[in-house]
Amino acid sequence: MIKINEEIPDMKLDVFHDNDIKKVRLSDYVGKWMVILFYPRDFTFICPTELEEAAGLYETFKELGAEVLSVSTDTAFVHKAWYDSSPSIAKIKFPMIADPSGEMCKAFGTYIDEEGVSLRGTFIINPEGKVIFSEMHNNDIGRNSNETLRKLQAAIHVSQSDGEVCPASWTPGKNTLKPGVDLVGKI
């Protein structure tokens, strides 16, 4: 399982993206921030609510230099069928990775062996290809894409600052901290 500050492995996977099925390598995205959203299955109840919410923020993620990738153990053909039949999923413009063997899910530690599906997992990968944030939870609890966006903004700020860190619930424009010093001030 990949841990914080470890590089993600390079693997070649099928994706459904721009109404086409193609192959990509995870290394294709190195050099930009990545937000990877693991979810259990297409054609389920919670998953379309999460992916639709992420789709609504996709342009904001891209403006920050990040690519959003969703991942499930479904095939790319199932992703396409879901896209073609669901108004919520039809809003998705980001790549939908197909991981039917569970290779990527296993590498990130989200795979449920007994079920052959992924837990809900959210990972933020920096431009060097290292995991800097991970969160996993039970499949009956949906995630919050606005919170993922906030965490990405904090990660970007920290990476561009000179030793500043972001306190609890930090958002752009709020005070940061500098270890050994008081509040730095508004950014």
Catalytic residue among 8, 34, 47, 149: 47
Per-domain residue ranges for the chain?
12-143, 144-187
Which of 42, 20, 35, 24 has the alpha carbon at shortest distance from 134? 35
Q: What is the pLDDT of residue 187?
A: 45
Are the beta carbons of 187 and 173 closer than 8 angstroms?
Answer: yes
Which of 40, 60, 59 has the alpha carbon at shortest distance from 50? 40
The two three-digit tokens of residue 78, written as one number: 């199932």
Answer yes or no: 166 catalytic: no
How far apart are the two ends of the chain, measured CA to CA in Å? 35
pTM: 0.94
pLDDT tens-digit profile, the chain (187 residues): 999 999 999 999 999 999 999 999 999 999 999 999 999 999 999 999 999 999 999 999 999 999 999 999 999 999 999 999 999 999 999 999 999 999 999 999 999 999 999 999 999 999 999 999 999 999 999 999 999 999 999 999 999 998 899 999 999 999 988 887 755 554 4
Q: What is the CATH number of domain 12-143?
A: 3.40.30.10
Q: What is the pLDDT of residue 162?
A: 86
The DSSP secondary structure of 62-100, one letter per residue, reads: HHTTEEEEEEESS-HHHHHHHHHH-TTGGG--S-EEE-T
